[in-house]
A and B are shown apart, each in its own frame.
Chain A
Amino acid sequence: MKYLAEFRDGDIAQKLAADIRAITTRPWAIMEVCGGQTHSILRNGIDQLLPPEVELIHGPGCPVCVTPLDMIDKALAIAALPGVIFTSFGDMLRVPGSEKDLFRVKSEGGDVRIVYSPLDAVQIARENPAKQVVFFGIGFETTAPANAMAVHLAKREGLGNFSMLVSHVLVPPAIDAIMSAPGNRVQAFLAAGHVCSVMGFWQYPPLATRHAVPIVITGFEPLDVLEGIRRTVQCLETADYRVDNAYARVVTFDGNAPAQALLAEVFTVTDRAWRGIGVIPASGWRLSDAYADYDAEHRFDVGAIRTVESALCRAGEVLQGSIKPSQCEAFGTQCTPRTPLGATMVSSEGACAAYFNYGRFHTLERATVG
């Protein structure tokens, strides 16, 4: 973390952008899968340095955004129960369910607490034996090891008052689904470095070959993203459909073996509905049978949930890259961070939020500062 400035150097960024311009001969559509990359691109203005031929399409990789509405509604129902301490990462609190969000439940008396790690939730369970402590376990492969560890610890300690509402999603099946969708425009992927630091990238070569699509593993700092784009364009221009690791300081082919072993023990692959997109086969994790006792969906009766999604919200199309957030009619009018219709407007990694918070310079003249 000490060397952050190195990956934000303006001169090197300009040089990388010039390299990209020099090698680009025709239009290319590249998807950054991860919401963290979407934010880095818009926050730093990386898109402004690219030649007009290179189009970045924002992908479905915001875990908060793709958590299905019925899961949010289940979370709201559980959090409102007496005797429950509901714990979650901060981003989830503002995500709209069918009727309200977790902030509302909290203001109405629900014991909702923001934690920074699922292990904090386990600690809360240890300290409150008379209460049921539930952790909202969402995210991609990145957050999964810590969630798995929390359940693993709770079971080892026999903590009967801890459970997890699990809605994990996986990146490779999403890439597969996007490439298989009719009308797909994506020609290459920037794969998320954080995900690959856990999982490695052994899952990607078959995808790259099957769909004839280059996949470049990319970090999150401005220079990481620019270098990822440079390598992607290089692959596209030379019709070289392979997996390239542009984030070798963090990512290896095999990934983190102990983490993967823990994940395999605690979780089982399952079909998963993605909010706005629909069910993608084998695209998520649920708790494995050995850990079924720790599944909050089993522990609490939340079966009778009826969900109502906003009719205006086009987050599904945003998440699949078929429209830009600003092309949604509700963007900035009926839908703002204050009155969000979809999760993509509230999550810190959501594409609609990124456009709303950083993107409005598109309407400005270029400001001048030395």
Chain B
Amino acid sequence: MPSNVRPLADAPLSGTWSCPLPLRDYPTIVIGHGGGGQLGNELVEHLFKPAFSNDALDRMADSTVLALPPGRIAYSTDSFVVRPLEFPGGSIGALAVNGTVNDLAMSGARPLYLSAGFILEEGLPMAVLGRIVTDMAAAAREAGVRIVTGDTKVVERGHGDGCYINTSGLGVIADGIDIAPQRAEVGDVVLVSGTIGDHGMAIMSVREGLEFDTTIVSDCASLASLVADMLAVTPDIHVLRDPTRGGLASSLNEIAAASGVGIVIRESALPVLPQVASACEILGMDPVFVANEGKLLAIVPPQHAMDMLAAMRAHPRGANAAIIGEVTASHPGMLVARTAIGAQRVIAMQLGEQLPRIC
């Protein structure tokens, strides 16, 4: 790394990023940034490498050679296409790291390495890309993972939404851990790590220009260290799931189907921020179907439930954790809610996205 380039890993977080020379020559992404020439090299040398710097990446070989600790390997990939690219509480960069880190953590793995593939649209402001990359670096640091390989392509203006990111991740699962959606058992207890629906409503409020009384902030965050604390209570966690798109209801439906059990939740026990509840009410949406990016569902044997709850609440990412229901032998494959007034209803999978209602 040239000595006059400040490593971005030490730079302040998004909002204050300033474009280093010579990236400043081009204030926006041009087609040439995706080619194999000088412009592409400058992007790597002055943006990606300083931001993500680590031994494996800095060698700049065609493929990264990694030493993995003993254990089973968890491997996951996800693509991120959020609009807008920056929103209250995060950005596509933070999402791209936390999303894959959380997918690894949900199998009980300790996330170690990520790849990052960028598809950039011609015209994307360099400053926006800089902030996205800075967010990625910060999220990776917090999650304790290293971004060890990457790729950049540029598409013509009008052929993308500014920036798409794909991340893949590797993690290692210690012996004695077997977390899978098929493992929910009758009598198990269902916990959630905090308030639901925050991310989906935060995106909705900025994307659609809806003005609510208070700003709704995305919960985008890494769950890796929360999972580590939970595994310290017992390695015998049966199921973990981060309820992203489709929300809590879709995840619990999938678990009920995969395990062939019923799940019952108490609506009055679901943690929902008042501003999220109000926004959902106005739009006719149900917070159980709204996306989260920093919450997890845990299904654990009943004898560990209270200790698990205490461990989750002791962690900053689980301060609002709650026991919300249990696994039952009745109605296998279905999710049922006990409503606030003491009746019950089925919560079925939705067809696609929830649409705001008319009145």
Contact = CB atoms under 8 A, between A and B. Distances in A.
Interface residues of A, number: 56
A367 B351 CA distance: 25
A225 to B, nearest CB: 10
Given A36-B359, A64-B358, A13 B342 contact: yes
Contact of A45 (B264, B339, B355, B358): B339
B341 A367 contact: no
Contact of A140 (B266, B283, B330, B359): B359
B12 interface: no
Contact of B330 (A42, A223, A364): A364
A63 B358 contact: yes
Contacts of A265: none
A143 interface: yes
Contacts of A43: 339, 345
Interface string A61-100: 0011000000000000000000000000111111000000
B89 to A, nearest CB: 22
Interface residues of B, number: 38
Nearest to B345: A358
Interface stretch (A1-9, A21-29, A241-249, A289-297): A1-9
Contact of B282 (A1, A356, A358): A1
Interface in B308-330: 325-326, 328, 330
Contact of B343 (A49, A63, A90, A114): A49
A365 B336 CA distance: 11
A214 to B, nearest CB: 24
A72 to B, nearest CB: 14
B203 to A, nearest CB: 14
Interface in A344-368: 347-349, 356-361, 364-368
A44 B340 contact: yes
B356 interface: yes
Given A2-B274, A358-B346, A367-B331, A49 B341 contact: yes
A122 to B, nearest CB: 14
B359 A357 contact: no
A116 B208 contact: yes
A143 B330 contact: no
A160 interface: no
A48 interface: yes
Contacts of A92: 358
Interface string B163-186: 000000000000000000000000
A139 B336 CA distance: 32
Contacts of B339: 43-45, 222
A116 B281 contact: no
Contacts of B331: 364-365, 367
B281 A90 contact: no
Contacts of A356: 348
Closest 4 CB pairs of A and B: A45-B343, A90-B355, A13-B341, A348-B357
Interface of A: 1-2, 4-5, 8-10, 13-14, 36, 42-49, 63-64, 89-94, 114, 116, 120, 138-140, 142-143, 194, 222-223, 226, 337-338, 347-349, 356-361, 364-370
